[in-house]
Amino acid sequence: MKKYWHVIGIGIQNNLTYRVNYLARTLFSFIPLFAMLSLWRTIYAGKEQGSALGGYTQAQMIFYYLLVAVVDVLTAVNEDDWQIAADIREGNISQFLLKPIDYLWYRLCLFFSGRIAFIAMASVPLAVFIFCFRDYVVWPAGGAALPAFVISLVLTALLQFFISYTMAMLAFWMLEISTFIFILFAFEYLASGHLFPLDLLPPVIGHALFFTPFPSMLYVPVAIYMGKIAGAAIWFRLLGQLLWLLLAYALARFAWRRGIKKYAAFGG
């Protein structure tokens, strides 16, 4: 176990070398976010005072996007999938086949340390940004919402990681996997609620999406916090997240095992 702590420590140090990059990325991401908020404010301005769209008041709609930004900082994979694919392609994984260290846990530690470094750089500007919109900040929907939100957040992060890891395993079979990553990301961007709250979709499509892992990758924790998922439904959605997580983990292990059989250690 101790060796993995070392990995985390080194990972944080490594990631902090890119701190200016992280900071720049965070600051740049505020521009489209602010644009999105302006767009919704303009739409609400054309409505009657206090009217709700898809069950969201103006304050809730604004806060939805702010919370998405927070959850994204806390849970999104950064460049883990590209790095894993590069490790496989360039033969760097050979050393892990010899050492008593599990590549999957090793990458999970690096993902974890990457998030810590990113949070360290992003939290202050993000807090300032949210402070500017403090009038719209909504508190957790109820006593159960906050702990459920935190649990859901952890499940989201793990699911994000395992899905990226599984995608990166494609590098065993293909030289160029970025198109596949982008295709998955496109679906995720829409179906995880990144672009708009899933409640705005026609109910049939909204329900159908829950048969995919995407809502579990972002929407579920946000909706729990905001009370869009409440009561017994919280347990149901958390269970759903857990099942997707176990499935993604199993798939990641399976793909690795199949991949290793084919692996030829180029240049390693």
Partner 1 sequence: MSPKSEIQSPKSKDGVTRYLAIYAALWKTSVTREMSFKGNFLLWILVELLWFGLQLAFVGVIFSQTTTVGTWTVWQVVLLTGTSSFIQQIYQAFFLVNCTNLSELVRTGKMDFLLLLPVNTRFLVSTRQVDLPSFANAAFAVGVMTYAAGKLHLHPTVAQLFGFGALCVIGLLVHYSLMFMLASVSFWTVRAQGIVWGYYSLFNIARMPDEAFHGVFKAVFTFALPVLLVSNVPVRVLADKLTSPAAWLVLIGLGVIWALISEWFWRFSIRRYTSAST
Are 241 and 155 in contact by the 8 Å Cβ rule? The answer is yes
Q: Does 170 bind partner 1 (CB under 8 A)?
A: no
Cα–Cα nearest to 213, from 149, 145, 160: 160
Span from 35-43, 92-100, 161-169, 254-262 in contact with partner 1 (CB under 8 A): 35-43
The phi and psi torsions of 90 (rounded to 5 degrees) equal -90, 0
Given the complex with partner 1, which of 20 and 204 has the nearer CB atom?
20
Q: Does 125 bind partner 1 (CB under 8 A)?
A: no
Given the complex with partner 1, which of 6 and 47 has the nearer CB atom?
47
Q: Rounded to whole angstroms, how far apart are CA atoms 90 and 96?
A: 13
Q: Rounded to whole angstroms, how far apart are CA atoms 168 and 25?
A: 23
Among 4, 34, 96, 133, binds partner 1 (CB under 8 A): 34
Q: Rounded to whole angstroms, how far apart are CA atoms 142 and 155?
A: 20
Q: Does 46 bind partner 1 (CB under 8 A)?
A: yes
Among 1, 2, 31, 49, binds partner 1 (CB under 8 A): 31
Name the minimum Å distance from CB 105 to partner 1: 29
Cα angle 156-162-165, degrees, rounded to a multiple of 5: 140
Find the binding residues for partner 1 in span 10-29 (CB under 8 A). Answer: 18, 20-21, 24-25, 27-29
Are 193 and 218 in contact by the 8 Å Cβ rule? The answer is yes
Q: Does 105 bind partner 1 (CB under 8 A)?
A: no
Given the complex with partner 1, which of 39 and 265 has the nearer CB atom?
39
Given the complex with partner 1, which of 69 and 155 has the nearer CB atom?
69
